[in-house]
């Protein structure tokens, strides 16, 4: 008896994710001078551009695969649709909204896809630099069509590291304690305001490690897979296997660097 074919082809999903991310990013550029802004919560912004970009991404994805599930940051109440046993797209139409609002050129559209909790493809598009990062499970990671790989950084003291902090940070928060601990030991720490681009930059060898305690699936899904396919070590911030629906992560170029950062996050 023949096996039931898989409900997805990672390589084909990568191409579709790239098409959707490109549509989202181009929409963000088109809205750059005409959006309005409102608050979802303290220091947590949403713009008309976010909503328009998510609509553009969704149209590409569900136009090609109408039976798939879709989880987007700007979906009603942020509630995921039924995703069990289905290919599920996890989308951040505008990662780096505060940057976008202020004209700071670090934002992106992130399109990831999972099946039964397993990352299978993803793309991150930076419309300002016109850079497309992508990956398919088992197929490697790419910037455009050029393969990318993590660095060989083995020690924190020689590493450039990025952190993603929540919109509001209390003075005694674990986020700040970890930040100080890593700053003291690393070459430098960056906070760019875009988790998706931080992850893409680790994969491309521009950063050596990146972590986030407080994050959402749509911020992490595409970038974590791209890092994995580029050779990064990926866990959650406690050193346990990464769970896309919990989303917190630590990615590092090498095992030794991962251990070094992890002990400072605890």
Distances (CA, A) of 222 to 120, 187, 251: 9, 27, 13
**Cα-to-chain-centroid distance, residue 250:** 12
Tell whether 170 is in a known binding site: no
Could you tell me where the DSSP H helices lie in the chain? Answer: 10-30, 48-64, 97-102, 174-185, 195-203, 217-229, 255-265
Counts of helices then strands in the chain (DSSP H, E): 7, 14
Helix (H) or strand (E) holding 118: strand 118-126
Annotated binding-site residue? 236: no
Query: Any known ligand binding at 33?
Result: no
- The residues facing 59 across adjacent strands are none
User: Exposed/middle/buried for 98, CB within 10 Å: 0-12, 13-18, 19+?
Assistant: middle
Please tell me whether 73 is known to bind a ligand.
yes
Please, what sign has the CA dihedral across residues 204, 31, 165, 183? positive
- Enumerate the H helices of 80-173 as residue ranges: 97-102
Closest CA to 224 of 200, 259, 206, 192: 200
Task: Give which of 196, 94, 64, 78 is closest to 135, Cα–Cα.
Answer: 196
Q: Flag whether 94 is marked binding.
A: yes
Question: From the annotation, which residues make up the binding site?
Answer: 73, 92, 94-95, 219
Question: From the annotation, which residues make up the binding site for Mg(2+)?
Answer: 73, 92, 94-95, 219
């Amino acid at each position: 008896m023949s096996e039931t074919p898989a409900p997805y082809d990672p390589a084909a999903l990568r191409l579709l994710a790239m098409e959707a991310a490109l549509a989202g990013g181009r929409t963000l550029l088109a809205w750059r001078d005409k959006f309005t802004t409102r608050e979802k919560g303290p220091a947590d912004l949403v713009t008309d551009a976010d909503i328009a970009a998510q609509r553009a991404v969704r149209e590409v994805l569900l136009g090609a695969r109408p039976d798939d599930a879709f989880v987007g940051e700007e979906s009603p109440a942020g509630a995921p649709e039924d995703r069990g046993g289905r290919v599920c797209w996890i989308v951040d139409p505008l990662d780096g909204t505060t940057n976008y609002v202020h004209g700071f050129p670090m934002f992106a559209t992130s399109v990831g896809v999972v099946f039964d909790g397993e990352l299978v493809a993803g793309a991150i598009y930076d419309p300002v630099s016109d850079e497309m990062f992508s990956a398919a499970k088992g197929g490697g990671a790419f910037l455009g069509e050029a393969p990318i790989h993590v660095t060989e950084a083995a020690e924190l003291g020689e590493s450039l590291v990025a952190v993603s902090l929540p919109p509001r940070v209390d003075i005694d928060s674990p986020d700040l304690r970890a930040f100080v601990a890593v700053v003291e030991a690393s070459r430098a720490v960056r906070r760019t305001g875009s988790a998706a681009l931080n992850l893409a930059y680790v994969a491309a060898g521009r950063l050596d490690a990146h972590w986030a305690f407080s994050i959402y699936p749509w911020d992490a899904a595409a970038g974590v897979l791209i890092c994995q396919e580029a050779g990064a070590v990926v866990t959650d911030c406690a050193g346990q296997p990464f769970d896309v629906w919990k989303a917190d992560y630590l990615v590092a170029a090498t095992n030794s660097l991962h251990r070094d950062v992890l002990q400072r996050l605890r």
